[in-house]
Amino acid sequence: PGGPSPAGAESGVGAPGRAAIAARTLRGDRWWLQPAATFVGLMIFVVYATVRSFVRSAYWVDSYHYLSPFYSPCLSASCAPGSSHLGVHFGTVPMWIPLAFMSLPFLLCFRLTCYYYRKAYYRSFWLSPPACAVAEPHRTYGGESRLPLIVQNAHRYFFYIAVIISGINTYDAVVSFHGSTGGFGFGLGNIIIVANVILLWLYTLSCHSCRHVTGGRLKHFSKHPVRYRVWTWVSVINTRHMMFAWITLYTLILTDLYIMLVASGTISDPRFVN
């Protein structure tokens, strides 16, 4: 990604030595379709997640202990009674701060610096470039070697935090096996919550940084059989990282939406064990 000026005569595709082609691109297919679809798909999530993270309503089903992932962990006195699985460690929080302020900023940074999402939003939001063989509207190219984009290199640290948060989501899923009269209970909400947590783990562990953590910087795999074995497992899901990136955006929406509908009394949760 580079500066915001239009393609000039002296640089980019207009630089000396480049073929003088007047057309914006010689591609005859609908190359704009993929960046446009990516833009719409990401914006739906951004708008939904932003609204839901701030509204502070219908995020907790007290009778079944269902907690929306957009409110986990809930650690302040502003949280609905019973929703603070890890205890109340902060006083009341003003409305402009989301209740999951200990997790959402890190999850946002984890996704923003993700290798796949970088490709997605560089193309669909920043048009740098929008597609192969389509010139970008920027005159300069700064890459990711200086501020602000050098921050993308912090991805591996956000990965470590995301592992902890996935652990907290897993704990939430365990807590949700709660019957309406106490003890063990199990309903459709549990299936949705557990499926979401499994997919979040698949997204998190298929991260390229995870693959590097497990098998990177080794000269001889034969001397590190355990790391080699784990690296081969991570490599299998790593090839589907983009798929998990998309699926989890929408399982997060589905999980939150379902809990919102049950918590608000709009639908009732079908119970298999009460």
Residues that bind ligand FES (CB under 6 A): 114-116, 155, 159, 207-209, 241
Q: Which is nearer to ligand FES, 102 or 114 (CB)?
A: 114
Q: Which is nearer to ligand FES, 72 or 204 (CB)?
A: 204
CB of 26 to ligand FES, least distance (A): 32
CB of 50 to ligand FES, least distance (A): 20
Q: Which is nearer to ligand FES, 114 or 199 (CB)?
A: 114
CB of 274 to ligand FES, least distance (A): 38
In Å, what is the CA distance from 84 to each residue of 73, 171, 250?
7, 12, 25
Rounded Cα gap, residues 253 and 77, in angstroms = 25
For residue 149, give the 3-state DSSP assignment.
Answer: helix
CB of 241 to ligand FES, least distance (A): 6
Radius of gyration of the chain (CA): 22
Of 102, 204, 211, the closest CA to residue 160 belongs to 204
Q: Which is nearer to ligand FES, 7 or 161 (CB)?
A: 161
Task: Annotate 13-30 with DSSP letters as a single string.
Answer: GGSTTS----SS----S-
CB of 160 to ligand FES, least distance (A): 11
Burial zone of 83 (CB within 10 Å; 0-12 exposed, 13-18 middle, 19+ buried): buried
Q: Which is nearer to ligand FES, 208 or 227 (CB)?
A: 208
**Contact (CB, 8 A) for 188 and 65:** no
